[in-house]
Structure 1
Protein backbone atom coordinates (compact mmCIF):
# COMPACT_ATOMS: atom_id res chain seq x y z
CA UNK A 1 0.00 0.00 0.00
CA UNK A 2 1.21 3.52 -0.69
CA UNK A 3 0.72 7.03 0.56
CA UNK A 4 1.92 10.40 -0.69
CA UNK A 5 5.40 11.17 0.63
CA UNK A 6 8.05 13.81 0.21
CA UNK A 7 11.60 13.33 -0.94
CA UNK A 8 13.70 11.21 1.43
CA UNK A 9 15.49 14.24 2.83
CA UNK A 10 12.53 16.61 2.77
CA UNK A 11 14.05 18.25 -0.32
CA UNK A 12 12.03 20.09 -2.94
CA UNK A 13 10.20 18.34 -5.77
CA UNK A 14 12.77 19.78 -8.18
CA UNK A 15 15.59 18.19 -6.17
CA UNK A 16 13.78 14.88 -6.08
CA UNK A 17 13.49 14.88 -9.88
CA UNK A 18 17.22 15.44 -10.04
CA UNK A 19 17.63 12.19 -8.12
CA UNK A 20 15.41 10.23 -10.49
CA UNK A 21 18.07 9.06 -12.97
CA UNK A 22 19.96 7.42 -10.11
CA UNK A 23 16.94 5.90 -8.37
CA UNK A 24 14.69 5.31 -11.42
CA UNK A 25 11.67 6.34 -9.38
CA UNK A 26 10.11 9.58 -8.24
CA UNK A 27 8.37 8.51 -5.03
CA UNK A 28 8.48 6.12 -2.11
CA UNK A 29 6.45 2.97 -1.53
CA UNK A 30 5.25 2.81 2.06
CA UNK A 31 4.01 -0.29 3.83
CA UNK A 32 2.36 -0.49 7.24
CA UNK A 33 3.76 -3.65 8.77
CA UNK A 34 2.25 -4.41 12.18
CA UNK A 35 4.08 -7.20 13.99
CA UNK A 36 2.46 -9.73 16.35
CA UNK A 37 4.63 -11.24 19.05
CA UNK A 38 3.79 -14.28 21.18
CA UNK A 39 5.12 -13.91 24.75
CA UNK A 40 4.60 -15.87 27.95
CA UNK A 41 2.42 -12.94 29.08
CA UNK A 42 0.20 -13.20 26.01
CA UNK A 43 0.07 -11.95 22.44
CA UNK A 44 1.30 -8.42 21.71
CA UNK A 45 1.26 -6.21 18.63
CA UNK A 46 3.94 -3.65 17.76
CA UNK A 47 2.22 -0.63 16.15
CA UNK A 48 -1.31 -0.70 14.75
CA UNK A 49 -1.55 1.11 11.41
CA UNK A 50 -3.96 3.87 10.42
CA UNK A 51 -7.20 2.04 11.12
CA UNK A 52 -10.31 2.06 8.96
CA UNK A 53 -12.16 5.07 7.51
CA UNK A 54 -9.01 7.14 7.20
CA UNK A 55 -9.19 10.00 4.69
CA UNK A 56 -6.21 12.03 5.86
CA UNK A 57 -4.10 11.18 2.80
CA UNK A 58 -6.97 11.45 0.30
CA UNK A 59 -9.88 9.22 -0.65
CA UNK A 60 -7.78 6.79 -2.67
CA UNK A 61 -5.88 5.65 0.45
CA UNK A 62 -8.98 4.65 2.43
CA UNK A 63 -9.50 1.20 0.81
CA UNK A 64 -5.83 0.37 1.29
CA UNK A 65 -5.70 0.78 5.07
CA UNK A 66 -7.68 -0.51 8.04
CA UNK A 67 -7.00 -4.15 7.23
CA UNK A 68 -5.53 -5.09 10.60
CA UNK A 69 -8.70 -6.79 11.85
CA UNK A 70 -8.96 -8.92 8.70
CA UNK A 71 -5.32 -9.87 8.99
CA UNK A 72 -5.78 -10.88 12.60
CA UNK A 73 -8.83 -12.96 11.79
CA UNK A 74 -6.95 -14.70 9.01
CA UNK A 75 -4.20 -15.60 11.47
CA UNK A 76 -6.66 -16.83 14.09
CA UNK A 77 -6.03 -13.89 16.43
CA UNK A 78 -8.74 -12.17 18.46
CA UNK A 79 -8.77 -8.44 19.23
CA UNK A 80 -10.54 -9.16 22.53
CA UNK A 81 -7.73 -11.46 23.70
CA UNK A 82 -4.71 -9.36 22.73
CA UNK A 83 -2.68 -8.72 25.88
CA UNK A 84 -0.51 -5.78 24.87
CA UNK A 85 -0.09 -2.98 22.34
CA UNK A 86 3.45 -1.59 22.00
CA UNK A 87 3.93 1.71 20.20
CA UNK A 88 7.31 2.60 18.74
CA UNK A 89 5.84 6.12 18.82
CA UNK A 90 2.42 7.76 18.63
CA UNK A 91 2.25 9.13 15.08
CA UNK A 92 -1.20 8.46 13.62
CA UNK A 93 -0.01 5.76 11.21
CA UNK A 94 1.23 3.79 14.21
CA UNK A 95 -1.45 4.53 16.80
CA UNK A 96 -4.75 5.25 15.03
CA UNK A 97 -5.39 1.55 14.42
CA UNK A 98 -5.73 1.19 18.18
CA UNK A 99 -8.46 3.85 18.56
CA UNK A 100 -10.02 4.64 15.15
CA UNK A 101 -13.59 3.59 16.13
CA UNK A 102 -13.69 5.84 19.17
CA UNK A 103 -13.09 2.90 21.50
CA UNK A 104 -9.95 0.85 22.19
CA UNK A 105 -9.52 -1.64 19.35
CA UNK A 106 -7.98 -4.06 21.84
CA UNK A 107 -10.29 -3.80 24.86
CA UNK A 108 -8.27 -5.72 27.44
CA UNK A 109 -4.75 -4.91 26.24
CA UNK A 110 -2.24 -2.88 28.18
CA UNK A 111 -0.60 -0.23 26.00
CA UNK A 112 3.06 0.75 26.09
CA UNK A 113 4.71 3.95 24.90
CA UNK A 114 7.86 5.68 26.06
CA UNK A 115 7.37 8.17 28.89
CA UNK A 116 8.81 11.02 26.75
CA UNK A 117 6.38 10.14 23.94
CA UNK A 118 3.36 10.38 26.21
CA UNK A 119 4.64 13.62 27.71
CA UNK A 120 5.26 15.23 24.31
CA UNK A 121 1.83 14.48 22.85
CA UNK A 122 0.11 15.44 26.10
CA UNK A 123 1.53 18.97 25.93
CA UNK A 124 1.24 21.88 23.49
CA UNK A 125 2.21 20.86 19.95
CA UNK A 126 4.01 23.60 18.03
CA UNK A 127 6.01 21.82 15.32
CA UNK A 128 4.08 21.94 12.06
CA UNK A 129 4.92 18.40 10.95
CA UNK A 130 3.61 17.04 14.26
CA UNK A 131 0.19 18.70 14.07
CA UNK A 132 -1.52 16.11 11.79
CA UNK A 133 -0.58 13.39 14.28
CA UNK A 134 -1.65 15.11 17.48
CA UNK A 135 -5.34 14.12 17.46
CA UNK A 136 -4.65 10.38 17.17
CA UNK A 137 -1.83 10.54 19.72
CA UNK A 138 -3.96 12.40 22.27
CA UNK A 139 -6.93 10.09 21.70
CA UNK A 140 -4.72 7.04 22.22
CA UNK A 141 -3.49 8.48 25.51
CA UNK A 142 -7.04 9.32 26.58
CA UNK A 143 -8.73 6.07 25.60
CA UNK A 144 -6.13 3.71 27.04
CA UNK A 145 -5.80 5.83 30.16
CA UNK A 146 -4.29 3.89 33.04
CA UNK A 147 -3.72 0.93 30.73
CA UNK A 148 -1.16 3.00 28.83
CA UNK A 149 1.95 2.24 30.86
CA UNK A 150 3.75 5.55 31.12
CA UNK A 151 6.81 4.25 32.95
CA UNK A 152 8.66 2.51 30.16
CA UNK A 153 12.12 3.90 29.62
CA UNK A 154 14.72 2.89 27.09
CA UNK A 155 16.42 -0.43 27.90
CA UNK A 156 13.40 -1.52 29.96
CA UNK A 157 12.08 -5.03 29.35
CA UNK A 158 8.46 -4.28 28.45
CA UNK A 159 7.38 -7.92 28.26
CA UNK A 160 9.43 -11.12 28.58
CA UNK A 161 11.88 -11.09 25.68
CA UNK A 162 10.69 -7.65 24.51
CA UNK A 163 12.96 -4.69 25.22
CA UNK A 164 12.81 -0.99 24.26
CA UNK A 165 15.97 0.56 22.80
CA UNK A 166 16.63 4.27 22.22
CA UNK A 167 15.84 5.53 18.72
CA UNK A 168 14.98 9.16 19.41
CA UNK A 169 14.89 11.96 16.86
CA UNK A 170 11.90 10.96 14.77
CA UNK A 171 9.86 11.82 17.86
CA UNK A 172 11.04 12.48 21.43
CA UNK A 173 10.18 8.97 22.62
CA UNK A 174 10.64 7.03 19.39
CA UNK A 175 11.84 3.54 20.32
CA UNK A 176 13.20 0.47 18.59
CA UNK A 177 11.80 -2.79 19.96
CA UNK A 178 14.22 -5.69 20.37
CA UNK A 179 12.77 -9.19 20.46
CA UNK A 180 14.94 -12.03 21.76
CA UNK A 181 14.05 -15.74 21.85
CA UNK A 182 16.07 -18.95 21.81
CA UNK A 183 19.26 -17.09 20.88
CA UNK A 184 17.66 -15.22 17.96
CA UNK A 185 17.00 -11.49 17.68
CA UNK A 186 14.65 -9.27 15.70
CA UNK A 187 14.81 -5.48 15.94
CA UNK A 188 11.70 -3.47 15.06
CA UNK A 189 13.11 -0.15 13.91
CA UNK A 190 9.82 1.76 13.60
CA UNK A 191 10.42 4.88 11.52
CA UNK A 192 14.22 4.86 11.80
CA UNK A 193 14.10 4.69 8.00
CA UNK A 194 11.24 4.82 5.50
CA UNK A 195 12.95 3.47 2.41
CA UNK A 196 16.17 1.69 1.35
CA UNK A 197 17.35 5.10 0.11
CA UNK A 198 17.75 6.14 3.75
CA UNK A 199 19.81 3.03 4.43
CA UNK A 200 22.18 3.95 1.62
CA UNK A 201 22.00 7.63 2.58
CA UNK A 202 21.58 7.68 6.38
CA UNK A 203 22.14 11.43 6.47
CA UNK A 204 18.79 12.01 4.77
CA UNK A 205 16.07 13.02 7.22
CA UNK A 206 12.35 13.32 6.47
CA UNK A 207 9.88 16.14 7.20
CA UNK A 208 8.36 13.94 9.92
CA UNK A 209 11.60 13.69 11.90
CA UNK A 210 11.03 16.26 14.64
CA UNK A 211 14.75 16.50 15.42
CA UNK A 212 16.73 16.01 12.21
CA UNK A 213 20.25 15.79 13.70
CA UNK A 214 19.10 13.31 16.36
CA UNK A 215 17.26 11.18 13.79
CA UNK A 216 20.37 10.99 11.61
CA UNK A 217 22.54 10.03 14.59
CA UNK A 218 20.04 7.33 15.56
CA UNK A 219 19.88 5.95 12.02
CA UNK A 220 23.69 5.77 11.73
CA UNK A 221 24.01 4.06 15.11
CA UNK A 222 21.29 1.46 14.48
CA UNK A 223 22.51 0.69 10.95
CA UNK A 224 26.08 0.21 12.17
CA UNK A 225 24.99 -2.10 14.98
CA UNK A 226 22.60 -4.08 12.78
CA UNK A 227 25.26 -4.53 10.09
CA UNK A 228 27.97 -5.55 12.55
CA UNK A 229 25.73 -7.94 14.48
CA UNK A 230 23.75 -9.13 11.43
CA UNK A 231 20.52 -8.61 13.34
CA UNK A 232 17.29 -9.31 11.48
CA UNK A 233 15.30 -6.08 11.12
CA UNK A 234 11.59 -5.35 10.90
CA UNK A 235 11.06 -2.06 9.05
CA UNK A 236 7.54 -0.72 9.49
CA UNK A 237 7.31 1.25 6.24
CA UNK A 238 9.12 -1.01 3.80
CA UNK A 239 7.08 -3.27 1.49
CA UNK A 240 5.52 -6.30 3.18
CA UNK A 241 6.73 -8.06 5.24
CA UNK A 242 9.38 -5.42 5.98
CA UNK A 243 11.99 -7.99 7.02
CA UNK A 244 15.61 -7.79 6.01
CA UNK A 245 19.23 -7.24 6.96
CA UNK A 246 21.65 -4.37 6.53
CA UNK A 247 25.00 -5.00 4.84
CA UNK A 248 27.99 -2.69 4.79
CA UNK A 249 29.23 -1.39 1.45
CA UNK A 250 32.49 0.43 0.71
CA UNK A 251 30.96 3.77 1.65
CA UNK A 252 27.62 3.09 3.35
CA UNK A 253 25.00 0.34 3.77
CA UNK A 254 22.52 -1.56 1.65
CA UNK A 255 19.18 -3.15 2.49
CA UNK A 256 18.72 -6.85 1.71
CA UNK A 257 15.04 -7.78 2.01
CA UNK A 258 13.85 -11.23 3.00
CA UNK A 259 11.01 -12.10 0.66
Structure 2
Protein backbone atom coordinates (compact mmCIF):
# COMPACT_ATOMS: atom_id res chain seq x y z
CA UNK A 1 0.00 0.00 0.00
CA UNK A 2 1.37 3.39 -0.95
CA UNK A 3 0.68 6.63 0.81
CA UNK A 4 0.18 9.82 -1.07
CA UNK A 5 2.61 12.55 -0.12
CA UNK A 6 1.20 15.89 0.82
CA UNK A 7 2.23 18.65 -1.56
CA UNK A 8 4.92 20.91 -0.11
CA UNK A 9 3.70 24.11 1.51
CA UNK A 10 4.39 27.03 -0.79
CA UNK A 11 5.98 29.95 1.01
CA UNK A 12 5.21 33.29 -0.65
CA UNK A 13 8.24 35.16 -1.96
CA UNK A 14 9.61 38.00 0.19
CA UNK A 15 7.53 41.15 -0.15
CA UNK A 16 9.05 43.91 -2.27
CA UNK A 17 9.97 46.87 -0.10
CA UNK A 18 11.29 50.42 -0.05
CA UNK A 19 13.28 52.18 2.65
CA UNK A 20 12.22 55.64 3.82
CA UNK A 21 14.70 56.81 6.44
CA UNK A 22 14.52 54.20 9.19
CA UNK A 23 11.21 52.78 7.95
CA UNK A 24 10.74 49.88 5.54
CA UNK A 25 7.49 49.87 3.55
CA UNK A 26 6.44 46.42 2.35
CA UNK A 27 4.09 45.91 -0.60
CA UNK A 28 1.60 43.15 0.15
CA UNK A 29 0.24 41.86 -3.16
CA UNK A 30 -3.33 40.68 -3.55
CA UNK A 31 -4.17 40.35 -7.28
CA UNK A 32 -3.46 41.85 -10.67
CA UNK A 33 -6.68 43.34 -11.98
CA UNK A 34 -7.98 42.22 -15.40
CA UNK A 35 -7.19 44.34 -18.52
CA UNK A 36 -10.79 45.52 -18.80
CA UNK A 37 -10.38 47.39 -15.49
CA UNK A 38 -8.48 50.32 -17.03
CA UNK A 39 -11.02 51.34 -19.71
CA UNK A 40 -13.83 51.03 -17.17
CA UNK A 41 -12.13 52.82 -14.28
CA UNK A 42 -10.33 55.59 -16.19
CA UNK A 43 -12.30 56.06 -19.43
CA UNK A 44 -10.33 59.19 -20.30
CA UNK A 45 -7.10 57.18 -20.49
CA UNK A 46 -7.67 56.06 -24.06
CA UNK A 47 -5.08 54.07 -25.98
CA UNK A 48 -4.24 57.26 -27.91
CA UNK A 49 -3.58 59.13 -24.66
CA UNK A 50 -1.42 56.31 -23.32
CA UNK A 51 0.47 56.06 -26.63
CA UNK A 52 1.66 59.63 -26.14
CA UNK A 53 3.78 58.63 -23.12
CA UNK A 54 6.54 56.14 -23.81
CA UNK A 55 7.48 56.07 -20.13
CA UNK A 56 4.22 54.27 -19.30
CA UNK A 57 5.24 51.20 -21.29
CA UNK A 58 5.83 48.34 -20.64
CA UNK A 59 5.39 48.52 -16.85
CA UNK A 60 2.32 50.72 -16.39
CA UNK A 61 0.61 49.87 -19.69
CA UNK A 62 0.96 47.14 -22.27
CA UNK A 63 2.19 47.76 -25.80
CA UNK A 64 -1.40 48.12 -27.02
CA UNK A 65 -1.96 51.01 -24.62
CA UNK A 66 -4.10 49.12 -22.09
CA UNK A 67 -3.44 50.17 -18.50
CA UNK A 68 -2.11 47.72 -15.94
CA UNK A 69 -3.65 47.95 -12.46
CA UNK A 70 -3.13 45.91 -9.29
CA UNK A 71 -4.70 45.53 -5.86
CA UNK A 72 -2.17 45.71 -3.03
CA UNK A 73 -1.69 47.14 0.43
CA UNK A 74 1.32 48.38 2.38
CA UNK A 75 2.71 47.31 5.75
CA UNK A 76 5.27 49.18 7.85
CA UNK A 77 6.46 49.86 11.37
CA UNK A 78 6.43 53.43 12.69
CA UNK A 79 6.26 55.03 16.09
CA UNK A 80 6.50 51.62 17.72
CA UNK A 81 3.37 50.38 15.91
CA UNK A 82 2.87 47.80 13.19
CA UNK A 83 0.72 49.49 10.55
CA UNK A 84 -1.29 48.24 7.58
CA UNK A 85 -2.51 50.76 4.99
CA UNK A 86 -5.78 49.61 3.40
CA UNK A 87 -6.92 45.98 3.34
CA UNK A 88 -7.70 45.20 -0.29
CA UNK A 89 -10.60 43.13 -1.62
CA UNK A 90 -10.69 40.16 0.74
CA UNK A 91 -11.50 36.49 0.31
CA UNK A 92 -14.81 34.72 -0.07
CA UNK A 93 -16.97 37.82 -0.40
CA UNK A 94 -20.00 38.17 -2.66
CA UNK A 95 -19.31 41.03 -5.07
CA UNK A 96 -20.98 42.23 -8.27
CA UNK A 97 -17.61 42.98 -9.86
CA UNK A 98 -16.35 39.62 -11.19
CA UNK A 99 -12.74 40.62 -10.52
CA UNK A 100 -13.55 40.94 -6.81
CA UNK A 101 -16.07 38.13 -6.36
CA UNK A 102 -15.33 35.17 -4.05
CA UNK A 103 -11.54 35.49 -4.20
CA UNK A 104 -9.20 32.82 -2.86
CA UNK A 105 -5.83 34.58 -2.66
CA UNK A 106 -2.87 33.98 -0.36
CA UNK A 107 -2.91 37.59 0.85
CA UNK A 108 -2.71 36.74 4.56
CA UNK A 109 0.16 34.34 3.90
CA UNK A 110 1.98 37.13 2.05
CA UNK A 111 1.34 39.55 4.89
CA UNK A 112 2.64 37.02 7.39
CA UNK A 113 5.69 36.24 5.26
CA UNK A 114 6.51 39.97 5.27
CA UNK A 115 6.64 39.78 9.07
CA UNK A 116 3.12 41.05 9.83
CA UNK A 117 0.91 38.15 10.97
CA UNK A 118 -2.66 39.40 11.55
CA UNK A 119 -2.49 39.16 15.35
CA UNK A 120 0.58 41.44 15.35
CA UNK A 121 -0.97 44.41 13.51
CA UNK A 122 -1.55 47.42 15.78
CA UNK A 123 -3.12 49.92 13.39
CA UNK A 124 -5.08 49.68 10.13
CA UNK A 125 -5.36 52.95 8.18
CA UNK A 126 -8.27 53.00 5.72
CA UNK A 127 -7.82 55.67 3.06
CA UNK A 128 -11.53 55.41 2.26
CA UNK A 129 -14.43 52.99 2.54
CA UNK A 130 -14.59 51.46 -0.94
CA UNK A 131 -14.97 47.74 -1.53
CA UNK A 132 -11.41 47.12 -2.72
CA UNK A 133 -9.85 48.93 0.25
CA UNK A 134 -11.70 47.37 3.19
CA UNK A 135 -12.13 43.71 2.21
CA UNK A 136 -9.57 42.16 4.53
CA UNK A 137 -10.97 44.18 7.43
CA UNK A 138 -12.77 40.92 8.17
CA UNK A 139 -12.58 37.21 7.48
CA UNK A 140 -15.11 34.40 7.79
CA UNK A 141 -15.00 32.36 10.98
CA UNK A 142 -17.71 29.95 12.14
CA UNK A 143 -20.15 31.49 9.68
CA UNK A 144 -19.56 35.07 10.82
CA UNK A 145 -17.46 37.97 9.54
CA UNK A 146 -15.00 38.90 12.27
CA UNK A 147 -12.13 41.42 12.38
CA UNK A 148 -9.03 40.00 10.71
CA UNK A 149 -6.78 42.12 12.93
CA UNK A 150 -8.31 41.66 16.37
CA UNK A 151 -5.65 43.62 18.28
CA UNK A 152 -5.61 46.60 15.90
CA UNK A 153 -7.39 49.92 15.88
CA UNK A 154 -8.95 50.58 12.48
CA UNK A 155 -8.75 54.26 11.58
CA UNK A 156 -10.46 56.37 8.93
CA UNK A 157 -11.67 59.92 8.40
CA UNK A 158 -14.79 60.97 10.30
CA UNK A 159 -15.96 62.81 7.17
CA UNK A 160 -15.69 59.54 5.23
CA UNK A 161 -17.75 57.47 7.63
CA UNK A 162 -20.38 60.15 8.12
CA UNK A 163 -20.78 60.57 4.36
CA UNK A 164 -21.60 56.89 3.87
CA UNK A 165 -23.89 56.90 6.90
CA UNK A 166 -26.14 59.35 5.04
CA UNK A 167 -25.70 57.87 1.56
CA UNK A 168 -28.44 55.93 -0.21
CA UNK A 169 -26.46 52.74 -0.81
CA UNK A 170 -27.35 50.21 -3.44
CA UNK A 171 -27.53 46.54 -2.45
CA UNK A 172 -23.93 45.76 -3.42
CA UNK A 173 -22.43 48.59 -1.36
CA UNK A 174 -24.73 47.85 1.56
CA UNK A 175 -23.54 44.25 1.56
CA UNK A 176 -19.93 45.41 1.55
CA UNK A 177 -20.58 47.53 4.64
CA UNK A 178 -22.36 44.59 6.28
CA UNK A 179 -19.45 42.19 5.81
CA UNK A 180 -16.41 44.51 5.94
CA UNK A 181 -17.18 47.69 7.90
CA UNK A 182 -19.98 47.08 10.39
CA UNK A 183 -18.33 44.05 12.06
CA UNK A 184 -15.31 46.25 12.86
CA UNK A 185 -17.56 48.97 14.26
CA UNK A 186 -19.58 46.49 16.28
CA UNK A 187 -16.36 45.13 17.75
CA UNK A 188 -15.50 48.65 18.92
CA UNK A 189 -12.34 48.78 16.80
CA UNK A 190 -13.10 51.65 14.39
CA UNK A 191 -11.69 55.07 15.25
CA UNK A 192 -12.86 58.18 13.36
CA UNK A 193 -10.40 61.04 12.99
CA UNK A 194 -11.04 64.68 12.14
CA UNK A 195 -8.48 65.50 9.46
CA UNK A 196 -7.80 69.26 9.11
CA UNK A 197 -6.55 70.90 5.92
CA UNK A 198 -2.92 70.67 7.01
CA UNK A 199 -3.30 67.01 7.94
CA UNK A 200 -2.85 65.35 11.30
CA UNK A 201 -0.10 63.16 12.74
CA UNK A 202 -1.61 59.96 14.15
CA UNK A 203 1.65 58.15 14.90
CA UNK A 204 5.12 59.75 15.07
CA UNK A 205 6.17 60.02 11.44
CA UNK A 206 2.72 59.18 10.01
CA UNK A 207 0.41 61.97 8.90
CA UNK A 208 -3.06 61.70 7.38
CA UNK A 209 -3.58 64.20 4.55
CA UNK A 210 -7.06 65.16 3.31
CA UNK A 211 -7.34 64.28 -0.40
CA UNK A 212 -11.07 64.62 -1.12
CA UNK A 213 -12.87 64.04 -4.40
CA UNK A 214 -12.75 60.33 -5.05
CA UNK A 215 -14.75 60.21 -1.83
CA UNK A 216 -15.52 63.18 0.43
CA UNK A 217 -13.31 61.98 3.28
CA UNK A 218 -10.54 60.31 1.31
CA UNK A 219 -7.12 60.49 2.96
CA UNK A 220 -3.58 59.77 1.81
CA UNK A 221 -0.83 58.70 4.21
CA UNK A 222 2.43 60.64 4.45
CA UNK A 223 5.43 58.91 6.01
CA UNK A 224 8.47 60.86 7.23
CA UNK A 225 11.70 59.50 8.70
CA UNK A 226 15.18 61.03 8.95
CA UNK A 227 14.44 63.73 6.41
CA UNK A 228 12.93 61.33 3.84
CA UNK A 229 9.25 61.28 2.85
CA UNK A 230 6.83 58.92 1.16
CA UNK A 231 3.15 59.17 0.23
CA UNK A 232 0.74 56.24 -0.04
CA UNK A 233 -1.95 57.41 -2.45
CA UNK A 234 -5.06 55.38 -1.81
CA UNK A 235 -7.31 56.31 -4.75
CA UNK A 236 -6.57 60.03 -5.11
CA UNK A 237 -4.27 58.77 -7.89
CA UNK A 238 -5.28 55.42 -9.36
CA UNK A 239 -2.63 55.10 -12.05
CA UNK A 240 0.54 56.87 -13.25
CA UNK A 241 -1.26 58.06 -16.40
CA UNK A 242 -2.98 60.57 -14.09
CA UNK A 243 0.43 61.97 -13.18
CA UNK A 244 0.73 63.07 -16.81
CA UNK A 245 -2.97 63.97 -17.09
CA UNK A 246 -4.38 65.07 -13.71
CA UNK A 247 -7.72 65.85 -15.39
CA UNK A 248 -8.32 62.15 -16.07
CA UNK A 249 -10.73 61.02 -13.40
CA UNK A 250 -12.22 57.77 -12.22
CA UNK A 251 -15.73 56.68 -13.19
CA UNK A 252 -16.44 56.16 -9.47
CA UNK A 253 -15.25 59.55 -8.22
CA UNK A 254 -17.96 61.03 -6.01
CA UNK A 255 -16.89 64.58 -6.91
CA UNK A 256 -14.84 64.52 -10.15
CA UNK A 257 -14.06 68.25 -10.12
CA UNK A 258 -12.78 68.14 -6.54
CA UNK A 259 -10.77 64.98 -7.34
CA UNK A 260 -9.00 66.81 -10.18
CA UNK A 261 -8.26 69.85 -8.00
CA UNK A 262 -6.88 67.58 -5.26
CA UNK A 263 -4.76 65.57 -7.68
CA UNK A 264 -3.31 68.63 -9.41
CA UNK A 265 -2.38 70.30 -6.13
CA UNK A 266 -0.88 67.11 -4.73
CA UNK A 267 1.22 66.43 -7.84
CA UNK A 268 2.47 70.03 -7.89
CA UNK A 269 3.57 69.71 -4.27
CA UNK A 270 5.21 66.31 -4.83
CA UNK A 271 7.14 67.55 -7.87
CA UNK A 272 8.90 70.09 -5.65
CA UNK A 273 10.20 67.35 -3.34
CA UNK A 274 12.07 64.07 -3.48
CA UNK A 275 9.11 62.22 -1.95
CA UNK A 276 8.52 58.59 -2.87
CA UNK A 277 5.00 57.94 -4.19
CA UNK A 278 3.51 54.49 -3.56
CA UNK A 279 0.35 53.78 -5.54
CA UNK A 280 -2.25 51.48 -4.07
CA UNK A 281 -3.22 50.34 -7.58
CA UNK A 282 0.07 51.03 -9.40
CA UNK A 283 1.48 47.85 -10.99
CA UNK A 284 5.15 47.01 -10.40
CA UNK A 285 7.41 48.90 -10.02
CA UNK A 286 4.62 50.52 -7.94
CA UNK A 287 6.67 53.45 -6.64
CA UNK A 288 8.39 56.48 -8.05
CA UNK A 289 9.05 60.18 -7.82
CA UNK A 290 6.96 62.86 -9.51
CA UNK A 291 9.10 64.97 -11.84
CA UNK A 292 8.15 67.81 -14.22
CA UNK A 293 7.57 66.63 -17.79
CA UNK A 294 6.23 68.90 -20.54
CA UNK A 295 3.20 70.76 -19.24
CA UNK A 296 2.58 68.25 -16.45
CA UNK A 297 4.58 65.46 -14.81
CA UNK A 298 5.72 61.88 -15.13
CA UNK A 299 6.53 59.19 -12.60
CA UNK A 300 10.22 58.28 -12.40
CA UNK A 301 10.14 54.66 -11.15
CA UNK A 302 11.95 53.52 -8.04
CA UNK A 303 12.20 49.72 -8.09
CA UNK A 304 11.46 47.72 -4.96
CA UNK A 305 14.02 45.46 -3.33
CA UNK A 306 12.85 42.00 -2.17
CA UNK A 307 13.47 41.52 1.52
CA UNK A 308 13.45 38.57 3.85
CA UNK A 309 10.82 38.79 6.59
CA UNK A 310 12.22 39.79 9.98
TM bin (shorter chain): 0.7 to 0.9
Question: Between Structure 1 and Structure 2, which shows a larger proportion of strand residues?
Answer: 2
**For residue 184 of structure 2, what is the aligned residue in structure 1?**
144
**For residue 124 of structure 1, what is the aligned residue in structure 2?**
167
**For residue 223 of structure 2, what is the aligned residue in structure 1?**
179
Tell me by how many angstroms 1:91 deviates. 0.6
Q: Which of residues 154, 162, 182 is equivalent to 1:111?
A: 154
Contact 2:119 2:151 in 1 (8 A): yes
Distance in 2 between the 1:59 and 1:171 partners?
22
TM-score by length of structure 2 reads: 0.73
Deviations 1:151-175 (A, max 9, x none): 3424121222111111000001111
**For residue 10 of structure 1, what is the aligned residue in structure 2?**
43
Q: Quick check: 1:218 aligned with 2:251?
A: no
**For residue 56 of structure 2, what is the aligned residue in structure 1?**
none
Distance in 1 between the 2:162 and 2:260 partners?
23
Superposition CA RMSD, Å: 2.5
Q: 1:138 to 1:25 in 2, by over 3 A?
A: farther
Note the residue ranges of structure 2 that are not aligned, 5 or more in a row: 1-31, 54-62, 304-310
User: SS at the partner of 1:179?
Assistant: strand
Contact 1:112 1:150 in 2 (8 A): yes
The within-5 A match list for 1:159-178 is: 159-178=203-222
User: SS at the partner of 1:33?
Assistant: strand
Tell me by how many angstroms 1:100 deviates. 4.2
Distance in 1 between the 2:149 and 2:176 partners?
16
Tell me by how many angstroms 1:73 deviates. 2.0
TM-score by length of structure 1 reads: 0.87
Question: Between Structure 1 and Structure 2, which shows a larger proportion of helix residues?
Answer: 1
Distance in 2 between the 1:220 and 1:163 partners?
20
Deviating runs (4+, > 6 A) in structure 1? none
Contact 2:75 2:116 in 1 (8 A): no
Q: 1:258 to 1:133 in 2, by over 3 A?
A: farther
Contact 2:127 2:218 in 1 (8 A): yes
Tell me by how many angstroms 1:183 deviates. 1.5
Q: Which of residues 87, 92, 99 is equivalent to 1:48?
A: 87
Note the residue ranges of structure 1 that are not aligned, 5 or more in a row: none
**For residue 195 of structure 1, what is the aligned residue in structure 2?**
239
Deviations 1:105-147 (A, max 9, x none): 1011100000011112222336x7xx74443245443222232
Tell me by how many angstroms 1:213 deviates. 0.2
Contact 2:51 2:65 in 1 (8 A): no
Distance in 2 between the 1:167 and 1:19 partners?
25
Pairs aligned (count): 252
